[in-house]
Amino acid sequence: MSIENILLPLEQLQLQSIELADTTITIGASSRQAQPACPACQSVSGRVHSTYTRTVADLPWSTRRLVLHLEVRRLFCDSPLCAKRTFAERFGAMLPPYARRTARLTDALSAIGFATGGSGAARLAHLLAMPLSPRTALRILHAQCLPAPAAPRVVGLDDWAWEKERSYGSICVDLERHQPIDLLPDREPTTIAAWLRDHPTIEIVARDRGKEYVEGVNQGAPQAIQVADRWHLIKNLGDALEYLFHHHAQALKQTCAELDGEDGAAPSTLRSVPTLDGTANPERAKLASRQWSARALDRYH
């Protein structure tokens, strides 16, 4: 493999010059394509209209930025059926039309951006000799095509805070793939119903206890089974137990007193634990602790 193959992103380019500076390597290159094809009609042409220089950033070399100055031809399209009179030669997916970066540089910046966000990408890419602004980093991220999500079957719906305590939307999660699918702008039943109608494959909806979600699911996915999610099941259980104990506090006290009487030990004795000054008897405290645990277990059973 020649140095030309290593330096240039495409085989269609021919190395013309290399200039070294403190922070930048500038490579001059021209096209090897004998007869480029018109992008509109695919007719090949060898009739040159003019040439111009295109500047494209590529992956850096060590600590230096790498900039390509490409001599690009504009050619005549001779097809009588084509709407284009002239066209600029193209270089495939590695160098998309009008792009100021090679596809491999964009891929690298996109990977950094997904890992670190806009400002983080700008700081890290600067250190790696691929300078760009936070705004450009975000623009690269927004231009990426995300894979289309699979048709969801089991989804979770819950609150999602745009601004905590002030503004809430809804988050939709594919519970089989453990991936968020969508963010809805609010918690209105009509919004939830419309989203569910767009996803007719949904069979089960796990939701919180809010009536907006109940109404939304009833309207948008009446075929779906509605279940409380695990967190809300446990919350329901906690609420029910709290209600129960609160309303039977007297009976619980009486039962405890009876059990204490059966054991023949007063509660005050059982709660004798070591004090901070260390004057309590450790053996007695251990015994009290064991008795207390045994009695708690009995009550639990």
**What is the nearest approach in angstroms of Zn ion to the Cβ of residue 75?**
10
Q: Determine how many CB atoms are found less than 10 A away from the CB of residue 121.
A: 26
Per-residue b or e along 251-278, where b marks 16 or more CB atoms closer than 10 Å to that residue's CB: eeeeeeeeebeeeeeeeeebeeeeeeee
Measured CA angle at 45 (ends 44, 47), to 5 deg? 180
Helix 211-220 / helix 189-197 crossing angle, nearest 10 deg: 30
- Residue 48's identity, in one-letter code, is V
CA distance 110 to 103: 10
**What is the nearest approach in angstroms of Zn ion to the Cβ of residue 88?**
12
Among 17-25, 82-90, 120-128, 255-263, which window interacts with Zn ion (CB under 5 A)? 82-90
Residue from 15, 59, 82, 94 that binds Zn ion (CB under 5 A)? 82
- Per CB under 5 A, does 129 bind Zn ion? no
Minimum CB distance to Zn ion smaller for 82 or for 280:
82
Residue from 77, 95, 112, 224 that binds Zn ion (CB under 5 A)? 77
- Per CB under 5 A, does 111 bind Zn ion? no
**What is the nearest approach in angstroms of Zn ion to the Cβ of residue 57?**
30
**What is the nearest approach in angstroms of Zn ion to the Cβ of residue 95?**
20
Among 75-83, 143-151, 188-196, 202-210, which window interacts with Zn ion (CB under 5 A)? 75-83
Tokens (6 digits) for 158: 């819950």
Residues 25-44 that bind Zn ion (CB under 5 A): 38, 40-41
Mask of contacts with Zn ion, 144-173, x by CB under 5 A? ------------------------------
**What is the nearest approach in angstroms of Zn ion to the Cβ of residue 180?**
45
Minimum CB distance to Zn ion smaller for 24 or for 79:
79
CA distance 2 to 198: 54
Minimum CB distance to Zn ion smaller for 77 or for 173:
77
Single out the residue of 38, 35, 16 nearest to residue 27, CA to CA: 16
The H-or-E segment that residue 155 falls in is strand 154-163
In three-state secondary structure terms, 230 is helix
Q: What is the DSSP letter of 26?
A: E
**What is the nearest approach in angstroms of Zn ion to the Cβ of residue 87?**
6
Q: Which residues bind Zn ion (CB under 5 A)?
A: 38, 40-41, 77, 79, 82, 84
